[in-house]
Amino acid sequence: MLTDEYVQQKFREGIDCSMMVLAEVAARIGISEKEAYRTASCFGAGMFTGGVCGAVTGAFIAIGIKHGNHEPNDTERKMKVISKRDEFVRRFTEIHGSVDCPVLLGIDLRDNEQRQYARDNGLFDNECPKFCRTAALLLKDIL
């Protein structure tokens, strides 16, 4: 279970939200924690571009690994993975109002001053654990 303290510690160690969420279900989708960390390592904090929340992106990666299509013209599997992704987005949005990092945190992570404001005011430590926890819990249900 991703507790606030665990998430905060991992952040201090350089492990991002996307990495934690994917690692939380790694065994269930047939990858190691190390593979999860490496695979999701570019997706934390809205991909550092102000995009989709890294916890959500980590969940998308897990859904893709577990249910994604990989053969040409496999529309059945493609529809299944899209359905799983859409269910995740719907449920996460019902809880938090959005899947986008800037909306969730109320800042533009592309802006150095706002990113520093987030650090100084504990947004990452106080808000992000909730998003990680929700993503992991929803993911365990959806997978």
What's this model's pTM, rounded to 2 decimal places?
0.92
- At 25-54, the pLDDT tens digits run 999 999 999 999 999 998 887 777 778 999
Q: Please give the Cα distance from 98 to 29 (Å, whole number).
A: 26
Residue 124's pLDDT is what? 87
Q: What per-residue string of b and e applies to 28-57 under the rule 16 or more CB within 10 Å gives b?
A: ebebeeeebbebbeebbbbbeebbbbbbbb
User: Is the pLDDT confidence value at 110 over 90?
Assistant: no
Q: Please give the Cα distance from 94 to 46 (Å, whole number).
A: 19
